[in-house]
Chains A and B, each alone.
Chain A
Amino acid sequence: MPDRYPGYDVLAKRHTPSWNEQTRRVIDRRLAVPRTPRFLSDHEFATVQAIAAEVVPQPVHRPPVPVAALIDAKLLDDIQDGFRAADMPRQRTAWLRGLQALDAEAQAAHGAAFRALTAERRCDLLLQMKQGALKHDSWGGMSPVNFFKQRLLHDIVEAYWSHPTAWNEIGWGGPASPRGYVRMGYDERDPWEAAEAHGDADAASRKNRHVG
């Protein structure tokens, strides 16, 4: 897929009026998230990576968004969502049990851990989870459907789109304080916003070099 916003890098705005000190601090911390697990075990961490590869597949030509590391950090901090279904445990327990159950399902169906499966088989197991077709005892009363939607999908998606690399791909303006925006109408772009290729990648690329 060609770059929709060629050459756009939201981090180029780091020292412009669009970023204040507290925002720089927060984003720096996120970019520096340790790439090794602190809450999960190595195996659990690798399993989250394998799941994330199916949910938010990333291009190979750039450094990946460290989805598993961001989820590990969320579990370490243990900030909850503010609600859970009656058949869902709190998030730490939910993730640990869900990963264990997914491995148990993989073993039962294919004789190997989830992360050792082919992409096709991983995808198929996730689809079965979404559709409520997984019934192994190791779910321990937790609903696989709720786990898929409220934990797995929710946490992976929020982790991925909390990262500047993901913002570049969708052409979002990113942090905007104290400077917000001025041009708000149809097809209007402030000079500090991403320019869309619209068939002329070079022109967009030139504009995107100057968002900072």
Chain B
Amino acid sequence: MPMQRPERTAMLADPLAEPRGKDGRAPDVFRPGGWVPMRQYRESEPVDFLIVGTGAGGGTLACRLAEAGFSVVGLDAGPWFRPLDDFASDEAEQSKLYWTDDRISTGANPLQLGSNNSGKAVGGSTVHFAMVSLRFRPEWFRARTLLGYGADWPIDWREMWSYYAEVEQALKIAGPISYPWGPKRPRYPYRAHELNAAALALAEGCEKLGVAWSETPLATLSAPRGLAHPCVYRGFCVTGCSTNAKQSALVTWIPHAVAAGAELRDLSMAGRIEVDAAGRAVGVHYFREDAWHFQQARNVVVAGYAIETPRLLLNSTTDRYPDGLANSSGLVGRYLTVQANQAAWGLSKREIRSYKGPPSLALTEHWNYDDRKDFFGGYCYMSQGPLPQLWANTLATARGLWGAPLMEAMENYNHQVGLKIVGEMMPQANNRVTLADDKDQYGLPIARVEYAWCDNDRRLIDHALDFMTQALQAIDASDIWQQTDDTCHINGTARMGIDPRTSVVDADCRSWDIPNLWICDGSVFPTVGGVNPSLTIQAIACRTANRIRALAARGELERRAHV
């Protein structure tokens, strides 16, 4: 056989089997089969920042730190996809985007993990997120003081407001000119998308009930941007965008990070953070290409999202830190806080065909801003567009249909209309991530995730289901039923705060216990609010990068200044 390998073979090589970010190059996500040069760092030379995880937190931070001139290496357990080559237009195939490694889910209200809340790819779960890009209500940053529940964030909302604007520009969020809720904000960078029938139904219901609605600010292009085309309304958003319209970390922060000199290593599973005798982080052991490696670093950032982040910290015990790293407060893994994701579904006489377009083109945040309720926290609700596998599974496992009733219900697919909340659940110390006895394919103890709703959670859910049911009745939907058991997003297992006894990191995402160990993802959220978290995670990452620059300039990266 000739030794020459045709280019096409290389292009179609399986990104789940062979790493692509190596030998001084990285996949070009904008060109089929393309490559871009990538800087390479030696494992034996400490880099300024070693970041574990490349999603909304880690990907954003890697970009901003590399742009600031720091040497950066990022590790991701998942593959480095080129969407144009690797993404099929198919639900089943695209489950390759999810974190499907073994995890145990338990408690009074066990979470469903994997598909809608955990990604395993360069770009993390932003590769399959629904692109909903919302700001927190300002009061949520002082929820304890102003609203009487949860905990205060150590960051002022006005500061966050400028970081939100920064992220919205970076992702060219498509949204309305004026947003109906909260303090003034700049108009969204790109114009809002056209509404599909599912979104029109939401709007109609809101108008009948007398509450405001809006086009959803979305991280998918409504105008060309560089080599990416505008969204073509395929409707496969939550199984990965094959045309690059979706502004995931994979096609935004990460190409910029690489261009700015960061090195990202795909198919690299972090197993343990190494700490020296002085109690400082010195690097990370990671598994790649059938072998364990060790990358040295001056600073380690954990950005694995609210299950893998505490898992890595808890898997990195030493004699000095027998309960895991950054855990003197005992709070690593605690206060896991998800969001309620209940829905009301019904049938319209009209054809809805909600599979077309982004699934959540319209929303109402009315109940995030109206405090005349019998529970703490709030929720928004959005229009829905489940694809057939997800919809069939919903009818089977949530509505309890099988046999002929299931087949008949599925025939109404094109007439289904649905409203689904993202609702604020209360932080509770006993909702937590711990380690199980079972091991994963790397030989690492797997996560055990325990979750139970509290009374307030149930009151919020009841309120939302009741209101959404009214909204469906108002538009004459028939056969209305309630999906009562779903949740989404995972946050809060390494919360930030002002007191080392009651938090894991400070406002700069720096761990209280180990000055060169940082945590930058949804784990740091003290409360979760009633909106999707991705915009806030990216805003926090931008803020953290700025703070790190400031601390470095003052010589305070090496050790924490005395307060």
Using a CB–CB cutoff of 8 Å, the interface residues on chain A facing chain B are 1, 4, 18-20, 22-23, 25-27, 30, 54-57, 79-86, 90, 123, 126, 130, 149-150, 153-154, 157-158, 160-162, 166-167, 169-182, 184-189, 193-194, 196
Contacts and interface: CB of A to CB of B under 8 A. Distances in A.
Given A162-B91, A184-B357, A187-B350, A170 B414 contact: yes
B413 A85 contact: no
B90 A176 contact: no
Contacts of A186: 197, 200, 350-352
B410 to A, nearest CB: 5
A123 B234 contact: no
A149 B392 CA distance: 13
Given A82-B101, A184-B196, A22 B85 contact: yes
A162 B106 contact: no
Contact of A173 (B86, B197, B356): B356
Contacts of B388: 161, 166-167, 170, 172
Contacts of A189: 351, 353
Contacts of A175: 88-90
A83 B92 contact: no
Contact of B105 (A55, A84, A182): A84
| Smallest CB-CB A-B distances: 10 pairs | A82-B114, A180-B232, A175-B89, A180-B234, A83-B113, A184-B196, A177-B89, A170-B413, A181-B356, A162-B92
Contacts of B404: 57
A19 B351 contact: no
Contact of A161 (B101, B110, B389): B389
A172 B233 CA distance: 14
Given A22-B85, A26-B90, A82-B98, A154 B393 contact: yes
Contacts of B169: none
B243 interface: yes
Interface in B91-118: 91-93, 95, 98-106, 110-115, 118
Contacts of B546: none
A153 B194 contact: no
Q: Looking at A179, A185, A187, which has the most chain B CB atoms within 10 Å of its CB?
A: A185
Max count, chain A CB within 10 A of own CB: residue among B90, B95, B118: B90
Interface SS of chain A: helix, strand, loop or mixed? Answer: loop
Given A82-B103, A161-B392, A166-B388, A56 B196 contact: no
20 contacts: A23-B90, A26-B88, A80-B114, A81-B114, A82-B99, A84-B102, A90-B102, A157-B406, A158-B392, A161-B392, A161-B410, A162-B91, A172-B387, A176-B232, A178-B242, A181-B235, A184-B197, A184-B233, A186-B350, A187-B197
B165 interface: no
B242 A20 contact: yes
A80 B100 contact: yes
A154 B101 CA distance: 18
A27 B403 contact: no
Given A1-B411, A86-B105, A180-B357, 11 more contacts: A23-B88, A83-B110, A83-B111, A85-B106, A161-B391, A175-B90, A176-B234, A177-B242, A177-B243, A186-B351, A187-B197
Contact of B106 (A20, A86, A149): A86
A37 B463 CA distance: 49
Size range of the interface on B?
35 or more
A189 B355 CA distance: 12
A56 B232 contact: no
A81 B93 CA distance: 13
Given A79-B95, A82-B103, A153 B234 contact: no
Contact of B234 (A57, A170, A171, A181): A181
B253 to A, nearest CB: 24
A1 B98 CA distance: 37
A23 B91 CA distance: 11
Nearest to A184: B196
Nearest to A160: B392
A179 B242 CA distance: 11
B2 to A, nearest CB: 25
B407 interface: yes
Given A157-B396, A181-B233, A186-B350, A171 B414 contact: yes
Interface in B119-168: none
B448 to A, nearest CB: 8
B506 to A, nearest CB: 32
B127 to A, nearest CB: 15
Contacts of A79: 95, 100
A80 B101 contact: yes
A153 B402 contact: yes
Interface string B395-430: 011001011101110110110000000000000000
